Structures are given as C-alpha cells and as structure tokens.
Amino acid sequence: MEEKEVGRITHYYGNISVGIVELSDTLKVGDTIHIKGHTSDFNQTVDSIQIEHKNVSEAKAGDLVGIKVIQKVHPHDKVYKIIP
C-alpha cells in the first residue's frame, strides 16, 4: 500500500488521547493513517477531526487539527495517509 505524508504531530494531550497535527495535505474523517516516529508506529482510522474544538469532516494543508489517537504520540512524529 502507498503512503503519503500529510502532516506531523505538534502536541499530545494524554488525558484525552488527542494528537495535534499540523497538516501539509488534506485529511478526511474515515481516512486510514499511519503515525510513525522514534517510538510510535501504528495505523488507525480517523474517527473525528476537530479545528478549534469544532468537529469537521475534512481539513486542509496548513490547518492545525486535533485527532483522537489509539496510542501515545510524540511531537515530530510523522502522519501518513494510507492510499488503498
């Protein structure tokens, strides 16, 4: 499967399991992403995206978004969209 880099993690809120992603490309609810860093390496489906605490179905390059993550992530982890 092909992967395309769509952003990087800038912050992680452990108490609510949310990673803040600075996007370099578009991302939609339902996309499958791969988060990879020094200690992070997992795939998950994007269940929700928030911008400024408001739910959105799609975000574009330049947006700073919050996504619920299934594992701990770290600043500078890269976020890839899996292209089926």
Residue 84 predicted with pLDDT over 90: no
Q: Which CATH architecture has domain 2-83?
A: Beta Barrel (2.40)
Q: What is the pLDDT of residues 37-83, one digit of tens each?
A: 999 999 999 999 999 999 999 999 999 999 999 999 999 999 999 99
Go through the chain and tell me how many residues it has.
84
pTM of the predicted structure, to 2 decimals: 0.96
Residues 6+ positions from 26 with CB-CB distance below 8 Å? 6, 58, 59, 60, 61
Q: What is the DSSP letter of 72?
A: -
Domain boundaries, the chain: 2-83
- pLDDT at position 63 is 98
Q: How far apart are CA 40 and CA 57, in angstroms?
A: 25
- pLDDT at position 20 is 98
- pLDDT at position 1 is 85
Q: What is the pLDDT of residues 3-12, one digit of tens each?
A: 999 999 999 9
3-state secondary structure 25-71: CCEECCCEEEEECCCCEEEEECCCEEECCEEECEECCCCEEEEECCC
Tell me the C-alpha to C-alpha distance, in Å, between residue 33 and each of 36, 61. Answer: 10, 16
